[in-house]
Amino acid sequence: MTATGSHLFGGRINLMLVRESARIELKDILGNPSQKKVIVWDDTLIGSVGLVAEVPFLLQLGVYKMIRLPAENITDMDGYRDVSEFIFLVRPQLSIIDDIIKAIARPAKSKSFVVVFVPRKSIHCIKKLEENRLKDGQTTPFSFSIKEFRLDMLPLDQDVISLDINSAFTDLYLDMDPTPLDQTVRSIGRLQALFGVIPRIYGKGRNAEIVANMMERTRQELMRGGESTAKDTIPQIDAVILLDRSVDLVAALSTQLTYEGLIDEFFGIRYNSAKFPRDQFSEDVQQVPKNAPPPITPLSVTLTSEENMYSNMRDSNFRSIGKILSKKAREISAAFEERHDAKTVQQLKQFVQKLPHMQQDKISLSRHTTIAELIKQRTDMPEFLEVIYAEQALREEDNSDGADSYIEQCMGKQEPIEKVLRLICLQSLANSGLKPKLLERYKMGIIQCYGTQHLISLHNLEKAGLIKVQESKSFAVVKRSLRLIVEKVDEFAPKDSAYVFSGYAPATVRLVEYLDRPNGWQQIEDILRLIPGPTIMREQKVHKGHERKKKPTPDQPQVVLVFFIGGCSYAEIAALRYLAGREEAVTDYIIGTTNIINGGTLMDSVLANTPHYERQN
């Protein structure tokens, strides 16, 4: 992550405002900066809070030390006896309350405790705290105050916002928990408060309709109460497109083939950084002092648009990365050779001024060359290539029953359960279901090869709609009508968004693309009926005089917020950036999502097994 948030600049709307809004709220929560205080962290919040409030910012607000939960008797620890205030930053989960109680085992009257729930309070958690105020026969309960830090929206880059709800898919499709929908509505409401009322609302899917209805109801309630969302703000976002994840689960389960997508598939990107084996990188990249013993921890690499090289290559198909890196190496070498042409003092001065930037480019080149090599080691493996060929066959063929022999072969070899179920789900989705006998055969094979605990996994997959009995061939019709399969895709100079999967264009992105054409979704009404869930096309009234008066042009494009409910992948983000980057494009896209996903993490959310990256690494 970056300390300044400079990677948020440069977009069509200024997402730095979202970050600053969160920092102001946190500043109010922490209170008087002259008062010494200790933050006690829920470990899972360090990354998300760190995106908006880096350590130097916290120190300015009077934070003396930071402790991670679980911890016991924090008031008795050396160095903390003179601290008067302990602030717990925690998620609203009952299990966390037990950790808080243990941490305040022997409270002192001179200490104050503040429990800050992120992103919102929980009545059940507060009740549990109250019930445990008297412990071990104490006659004087400890006092605490309750606050909430509404960090329900994280700006990841200048065009990407995440709500960071990693359980969004299981919440919505397994537990039927509407919490992610409520948080989506709140977040879009905050965006409207910052950037004006969004005049047009489009959507596809059941959850998209619920969000649209909640948005409309919330606005009506505000207006009845005499309030108005962003009344005096000229709209900076022209439309929002709400996309339910169920619209295209094929893209969600397919292996991403962009540079950024493969980093996420193999290493996992969390809060704009990924961890790699440190010993594979040069000392310059590791930034370890000479003669110092090498650290044993993985190397954490920040991945944002602040780094020009990464910004220029992250959305490229991985097959083109070698060519990009070679070209950049030649450019850097030529830049360093310019020192030989510097004859005058002025020329030498100019070269010296460019030197820090050139050296940083050299380090970036070394870093990404190593990352690309680490990825290539995996993509060159026969097992990976077999999966890619299988996925392509499943997506492209109208009847992919022939894939069952490969899937059953994987079962017989005891290959990772995630890999097997991911392929079964992809086959089911690409065929609009599986034939009853084949589905039963798969179920028997899973139980025999991997154990009865996966009866729960199979039940969850069916409940989430990832596997089912075949009832129609609707996906085949959608695939042909929306031209989701593109043959002979150019992975080096793309002419279609299908390059992100080397031949498959995400249906979610195709719907966005069609909406940008004359007559919008009206031209594909018959196809929209074949895609799960209702179709939404509505308008919101904006303040008089704030209506868009001119048609968008490449020089003055419209801004559209594309919001994925249930998660989106880096490949889909790359495809949307591709649409916006075309020479004739009249639309810039801001991507909002409940969370970032890939096929592995999506499968993890329904499997009764160990975490995805733990299994891979």
Tens digits of residue pLDDT in 134-165:
554 444 456 788 999 999 899 999 999 999 99
- Name 109's Cβ contacts closer than 8 Å, sequence gap at least 6: 140
Scanning the structure block, which residue is given the tokens 């600049």? 9
How much is the pTM? 0.91
- pLDDT confidence of residue 401: 61
For residue 289, pLDDT over 70 is answered with no
Q: How far apart are CA 408 and CA 188, in angstroms?
A: 45
Q: What is the dihedral of CA 569, 575, 578, 580, to 10 degrees?
A: -80
- pLDDT confidence of residue 502: 96
Mean pLDDT of the chain: 87
Q: How far apart are CA 168 and CA 413, in angstroms?
A: 32
Mean pLDDT, residues 402-428: 92
- pLDDT confidence of residue 418: 93
pLDDT classification of 6: cutoffs 50, 70, 90: low
pLDDT classification of 294: cutoffs 50, 70, 90: low
Angle at 77 between CA 76 and CA 83, to 5 degrees: 80
Q: Between 287 and 411, where is the model more confident?
A: 411
Summarised one tens digit per residue, pLDDT across range 331-355 is 888 877 776 677 777 767 776 777 7
Helix or strand holding residue 576 (H, E): helix 570-581
Angle at 96 between CA 95 and CA 101, to 5 degrees: 105
Scanning the structure block, which residue is given the tokens 């919330």? 218
Across 25-39, 488-502, 538-552, which has the greatest mean pLDDT?
A: 488-502
For residue 303, pLDDT over 50 is answered with yes
- pLDDT confidence of residue 5: 64
CB neighbourhood size of 360 (10 A): 13
Q: What Cα–Cα distance (Å) separates residue 444 from each residue in 56, 254, 418, 427, 461? A: 56, 24, 16, 17, 15
- pLDDT confidence of residue 138: 47
Q: Residue 109: exposed, middle, or buried by beta-carbon count in 10 A (0-12, 13-18, 19+)?
A: exposed
- pLDDT confidence of residue 1: 44
Mean pLDDT, residues 312-318: 96
- pLDDT confidence of residue 225: 61
β-pair partners for 154? 162
pLDDT classification of 397: cutoffs 50, 70, 90: confident
Q: How far apart are CA 500 and CA 261, in angstroms?
A: 9
Domain boundaries defined on the chain: 6-148, 154-255+497-603, 276-379, 383-476
- pLDDT confidence of residue 609: 41
Summarised one tens digit per residue, pLDDT across range 43-62 is 889 999 999 999 999 999 98
For residue 432 the two structure tokens come to 């609009």
Architecture of domain 276-379: Alpha-Beta Complex (3.90)
Inter-residue contact 288 to 358 (CB < 8 Å): no
For residue 549, pLDDT over 50 is answered with yes
Rg (CA), the chain: 26
Scanning the structure block, which residue is given the tokens 């060359």? 369
Which sign does the torsion angle of CA 347, 353, 357, 359 carry?
positive
- pLDDT confidence of residue 319: 96
Determine what percent of the chain is predicted with pLDDT higher than 70.
87
- pLDDT confidence of residue 616: 41
Torsion region of 355: left, alpha or beta (phi above 0 gives left; psi -120 to 50 gives alpha) = alpha
Mean pLDDT, residues 449-472: 92
Domain 6-148, what fold?
Answer: Rossmann fold (3.40.50)
Inter-residue contact 510 to 482 (CB < 8 Å): yes
Q: What Cα–Cα distance (Å) separates residue 464 from each residue in 218, 319, 457? A: 29, 33, 10
Scanning the structure block, which residue is given the tokens 């264009």? 505
- Name 455's Cβ contacts closer than 8 Å, sequence gap at least 6: 447
For residue 409, pLDDT over 90 is answered with yes
The terminus-to-terminus CA distance of the chain in angstroms comes to 23
Inter-residue contact 428 to 415 (CB < 8 Å): no
Poorest-pLDDT segment among 292-296, 446-450, 489-493, 518-522: 292-296
CB neighbourhood size of 226 (10 A): 6
Q: How far apart are CA 173 and CA 252, in angstroms?
A: 14
Q: How far apart are CA 605 and CA 464, in angstroms?
A: 11
Determine what percent of the chain is predicted with pLDDT higher than 90.
64
Mean pLDDT, residues 607-612: 51
Helix or strand holding residue 599 (H, E): helix 599-604
- pLDDT confidence of residue 390: 94
DSSP state of 160: E
Poorest-pLDDT segment among 83-87, 235-239, 558-562: 83-87
Longest C-alpha distance within the chain, in Å?
84
Summarised one tens digit per residue, pLDDT across range 211-261 is 999 999 988 877 666 555 555 678 999 999 999 999 999 999 999 999 999
For residue 562, pLDDT over 90 is answered with yes
Q: What is the CATH number of domain 383-476?
A: 1.25.40.850
Q: How far apart are CA 74 and CA 238, in angstroms?
A: 51
Q: Which long-range contacts (CB under 8 A, 24 or more apart) does 137-143 make?
A: 138/107, 140/109, 142/104, 142/107, 142/111, 142/113, 143/112, 143/113
Summarised one tens digit per residue, pLDDT across range 64-74 is 888 888 877 67
Q: Between 138 and 602, where is the model more confident?
A: 602
Mean pLDDT, residues 424-440: 95
Give the residue among 563, 541, 549, 555 at the shortest CA–CA distance from 587. Answer: 555
β-pair partners for 114? 87, 145
Per CATH, 6-148 and 154-255+497-603 having the same topology is answered yes
Which class in CATH covers the domain with range 154-255+497-603? alpha beta
Classified as helix, coil or strand, 93 is coil
119 preceded by a cis bond (ω within 30 of 0): yes
